[in-house]
Chains A and B, each alone.
Chain A
Amino acid sequence: MSVRTAIVRRAIDVSALLSEVGDTANGATVIFLGHVREMNDGRTVSGIEYSAYGEMAERELAAIASECAAHFGVAHLVAEHRLGALELGDVSIAIAVAHPHRAEAYEASRFVIEEVKRRLPIWKREGYVDGTSDWVNAAGIAHEQRAEERQ
């Protein structure tokens, strides 16, 4: 089994990630890519600036991957999240999972992205074509639920 995670400030090389999890022992590889979308809440996006609580983000992403590998019996898992200024279409996160069987590969991939959304301390400031910008998810519905769980 191999698990690797990274928070990076460079373009994510998707082909390299696929090679990294490649293994003839596995019948299924699932790759999830998150990328910068042109429209959000009816506004036209020009780009996104990603920032993070760097050291904690590294630790949390590694923890998510370890939990995933243990729970789903994943053979190989690589996840990278990118920070900095991204343009439309740029890949912000890539998750590659290899497993002997497809069902577990899909579930494991889903697990990682959902946990990233829930707990990775990363923020994005979305820029719009009209020159304005806003923090995404500032209302933080999931965040409020999580804070309540901890009271």
Chain B
Amino acid sequence: MTVTALLFASYAEALGSDRLELTLAGNTTVRDVVDRLRAMPGGSSLPAAPLVAVNQTYANADQRVVSGDEVAIIPPVAGG
């Protein structure tokens, strides 16, 4: 299955991209997506448990992801 990982700000700079299509096995969780990204070049600057939003809603690490999901890795926010 394929999910779209979105990266922003410092995380996008670290991985050199703001959008990656990832192919993963079934029974995948948010944690698996994060682990995959952290194993990529530049991915070590992502924390082990970053904030994540699945389809634009904040999600915990155990949440399942399914094919087509948009998984956004959210750096420390700094709005205002």
Contact = CB atoms under 8 A, between A and B. Distances in A.
A120 B10 contact: no
Contact of A34 (B6, B72, B77, B80): B80
Interface residues of A, number: 38
A118 B58 CA distance: 12
A82 B75 CA distance: 19
Given A135-B78, A142-B76, A121 B61 contact: no
B79 to A, nearest CB: 3
B51 A137 contact: no
Contact of B51 (A52, A135, A143): A143
Contacts of B74: 53, 121, 143
B78 A137 contact: yes
A122 to B, nearest CB: 3
B75 A119 contact: no
Classify chain B: how many residues form its interface, as a range: 20 to 34
B20 interface: no
B22 interface: no
Contact of A135 (B9, B59, B72): B9
A120 B43 CA distance: 23
A147 B50 contact: yes
A123 interface: yes
B1 interface: no
A53 B8 contact: yes
A51 B74 CA distance: 12
A71 interface: no
Interface in B20-74: 47, 49-51, 53, 56, 58-61, 72, 74
Given A81-B79, A119-B58, A123-B10, 8 more contacts: A52-B79, A119-B77, A120-B77, A122-B77, A135-B75, A143-B76, A146-B51, A147-B47
